Amino acid sequence: MELVTPEIGLVFWTSVSFFILFIILAKFAWKPIMGAISERERSIEDALLKAEAAKDEMARLTNENDTLLKQARAERDLILKEAKTLKDQIIAEAKETAQKEGARQIELARIEINNQKTIAMADVRNQVATLSLEIAEKVLHKQFEDQSKQDALVAELLKEVKL
């Protein structure tokens, strides 16, 4: 019976001591410890979430990079193709222009040549005429140095003239 009879003294001291223990531990031990533990748990969870997010972001970026690369490549091809077309076009145009220009030049040259030829021919004709006249003059001069011949010719001409 002694064993199961609570003594008031021990009940009193246990109550007082436990109360003090509880107050001190609650204030100086449990509060900071639980706070630190839950804080750390939260930060770990945060870090994990962030890592997950970073992984997703990374995957997204890689994806985006791939798409960008593909796009860039396609664009480059397009640009190259366009450039080539343009180049061909330019060359073709240049050729055409050159041809046209050449033809025009040739035409001009021909016209010029013709002109020059005509002028030259006219000139030559003039000179030939002058020359022929000079020659004829000289021949005539020579032929008619002799008076008799002049008379003979006049006579003959007169014969021809029928009045």
Partner 1 sequence: MYFSHVLKSKKIALSLILGVFLTFCTCKTFAIQPEHAAETEQPAHGEHAAEGEHEEAFNPSEVILEHIADSHSIHLWGTTSIALPVVLYTDKGLEVFSSANFEHGHKDFGGKYYTYRLVKDKVAIVEGADSLLPAATLLSLNKKLIDISITRNVVSMWMSMLIIFIIFLSVSSAYKKRQGKAPKGLQSFIEPIIMFVRDDIARPNIGYKYERFMPLLLTVFFFIWVNNLIGLVPFFPGGANLTGNIAVTFVLSLITLLVVNLNGNKYYWKHIFAPDVPVWLYPIMWPVELVGIISKPFALMIRLFANITAGHIIVLSLISLIFVFKAASVAFVSVPFVVFMDVLELLVAALQAFIFTLLTALFIGTAIEEHHH
Q: Is the CB of 5 or the CB of 147 nearer to partner 1?
A: 5
Q: Is the CB of 10 or the CB of 161 nearer to partner 1? A: 10
**What are the φ/ψ torsions at residue 71 (nearest 5 degrees)?**
-60, -45
Residue type, 122: A
In the complex, least distance from residue 51 CB atom to partner 1, rounded to whole angstroms: 16
Taking the complex as a whole, how short is the minimal distance between the CB of residue 46 and partner 1, in angstroms? 11
Min separation Cβ 37 and partner 1, Å: 7
Instruction: Return the number of the residue (9 or 141) whose C-beta is nearest partner 1.
Output: 9
Least distance (Å) between residue 20 CB and partner 1: 8
Is 108 among the residues that bind partner 1 (CB under 8 A)?
no
Q: Which is nearer to partner 1, 3 or 161 (CB)?
A: 3
Residue 42 tokens read as 């939260």
| Contacting partner 1 within 2-41 (CB under 8 A) | 2-15, 17-18, 20-22, 24-26, 28-34, 36-37, 39-40
Is there a contact between 149 and 143 (Cβ–Cβ < 8 Å)? yes
Size of residue set near partner 1 by CB under 8 A: 34
CA angle 69, 74, 80 (to 5 degrees): 125
CB < 8 Å & 24+ apart, contacts of 157-160: none
Q: What is the dihedral of CA 151, 154, 155, 158, to 10 degrees?
A: -160
CA distances from 92 to 2, 78, 84, 98, 103 (A): 123, 21, 12, 10, 16
Residues contributing to the site for partner 1 (CB under 8 A): 2-15, 17-18, 20-22, 24-26, 28-34, 36-37, 39-40, 43
